[in-house]
Amino acid sequence: MITSGLRSRFKVVLIPLSIVLVTVLLVWMLARLKPTPPEKAAEEQAWPIQTVTVTAAERSPQLQLLGRVETPYRSDLTSAVTADVASLPVLEGQAVSKGDIIVKLDASEVALTVDQREADVQELEAQLTQEKNQYEADQAFVKHEQSLLDIANRALAREQKLSQSNLTSQSRIDEARQARQSAQLSLISRKLAVANHDSRMKSINARLSRARALLAQARLDLRRTQVTAPFDGTVTGIAVSPGERVRAGEPLASLYANGRLEVRAQIPMRWLPDARQALTGTSELSATTDLNGTRYRLELGRLSGQVSQGAGGIDGLFRFVDQAPSVALNRTLSLRVDLEPRQRTFAIPVAALYDETTLYRVVDSRLQPLEVTMAGSRFENGVQQLLVQSDQLQTGDRILSTQLPNAIAGLKVDVVNAEPAQ
């Protein structure tokens, strides 16, 4: 009984254990017999890039500047007289030629002043003629007065001689002496009149000159009642209206010269040596601007004498080479300035420059860093290109033109779209 029970228990335990052992054996056999896949070596990644082929050439750096139109020939016209405004032949915005009437003032009051000044001149001219005639007469009177004095002297001498013989009275002698003194006084008076002729002439001439100057001023004021344009230009403002009374010095109108326009643009400090050399004639510096579909050429005329606070350069004043365009003052214009050409420069895209001094040349599908020096930039068809110089660069080199965040020396790359030579 006991033996059969034990056998039953062994069977219950042995059968599951056998199954587990067989399963383990099968799994081990399958793992041992499983084929091993071949190992594959890791490949280096090649980064897709674009390149540009560069060419050494003489190129002129360009500056893109914003300028403002202005002019040194801008006039504020004021009244020279006190008068009423008669009419306004020209209004704001109209073009005028030199000599055109802009404001016409009533000339009635000034005309009366002219008449008064003319009368003063005529009066002094008459006095001048009278003085000349009086001088001629005084010269003739001196001779007569001298003759009368001689007669009086002889009469006195005769009476004194007769008195020695008691043939005349003392009263006759006194009368003769009195006649001689009167003749002497008359002669002295005539000689004084002749001697003072020059001083009287100078006095009259001085007053006549002053009167003529006042007359000239009055006539000038009369002409100034018609306020005219001092040059060809455009009227920018009218400060009065007909019927308004203005005093001397009050503003009437303002205008600027069309042919004297300039463009003020700030030149960065880096390029000031080029600007100063251009002013001395040792280098070239020209500019162009497009306005209403027309391209205009400009040249640097001078530099400003001061630097504005906080500015990064000095204002340059560019003048138009040929005819100036018809453009309003203070308008903003875009200038493209051509600087002195640089020898052996390379034009590259903006994205090709790293850290402002580094380019990457592609050699055997790997990047090779090059140190370069910035020489400026140019604008071709509206696209900015950088100009660099380097002894390590050669014509035909392929330069990385894609911005890679992990660009380093030796990085493997794959050129997917090479750009044409620059």
The DSSP secondary structure of 147-169, one letter per residue, reads: HHHHHHHHHHHHHHHHHHTT-S-
391 Cβ partners below 8 Å, 6+ apart?
A: none
Round to whole Å and give the CA distance between 101 and 255.
13
Distances (CA, A) of 199 to 135, 187, 192, 207: 12, 20, 11, 12
Q: Would you give the end-to-end CA distance of the chain in angstroms?
A: 107
Place of tokens 């030796």: 410
Residue range 239-252: mean pLDDT, rounded: 94
Q: Compute the mean pLDDT over every residue in the chain, rounded to the nearest whole number.
A: 85
Position 381, amino acid: N
Residue range 299-315: mean pLDDT, rounded: 85
- State which H helix or E strand residue 399 sits in: strand 398-400
Per residue in 4-39, pLDDT (tens digit) is: 565 666 666 667 767 777 777 777 776 666 665 555
Pairing mode, strands 47-53 and 413-419: parallel
Q: How confident is residue 2, by pLDDT bands cut at 50, 70 and 90? A: very low
Q: How confident is residue 178, by pLDDT bands cut at 50, 70 and 90? A: confident
- 238: pLDDT strictly greater than 80: yes
Residue 395: the pLDDT is: 92
Maximum C-alpha span of the chain = 233
- Predicted TM-score (pTM) of the model is 0.63
Residue 40: the pLDDT is: 53
Residue 131: the pLDDT is: 84
- 136: pLDDT strictly greater than 70: yes
Residue 293, both tokens: 């579909």
Residue 188: the pLDDT is: 80
Residue 8: the pLDDT is: 64
Q: How confident is residue 45, by pLDDT bands cut at 50, 70 and 90? A: confident
Half-sphere exposure of 264 (CA within 13 A, CB side): 16
- 259: pLDDT strictly greater than 90: no
Chain center to CA of 6: 123
- 251: pLDDT strictly greater than 70: yes
Residue range 205-224: mean pLDDT, rounded: 94
- State which H helix or E strand residue 68 sits in: strand 62-70
Residue 97: the pLDDT is: 93
- State which H helix or E strand residue 367 sits in: strand 366-371
Residue 4: the pLDDT is: 59
Round to whole Å and give the CA distance between 77 and 62.
41
- State which H helix or E strand residue 253 sits in: strand 251-257
Residue 417: the pLDDT is: 77
Residue 178, both tokens: 């009195």
Lowest-confidence range among 52-66, 114-128, 146-160?
146-160
Which residue has better confidence, 381 or 77? 77
Which residue has better confidence, 185 or 302? 302
- 1: pLDDT strictly greater than 50: no
Closest CA to 235 of 97, 70, 105, 95: 95
Which residue has better confidence, 196 or 61? 61
Closest CA to 255 of 380, 93, 410, 147: 93
- 271 and 63 Cβ atoms separated by less than 8 Å: yes
Position 393, amino acid: L
- 83 and 273 Cβ atoms separated by less than 8 Å: no
- 326 and 310 Cβ atoms separated by less than 8 Å: no
Which residue has better confidence, 11 or 152? 152
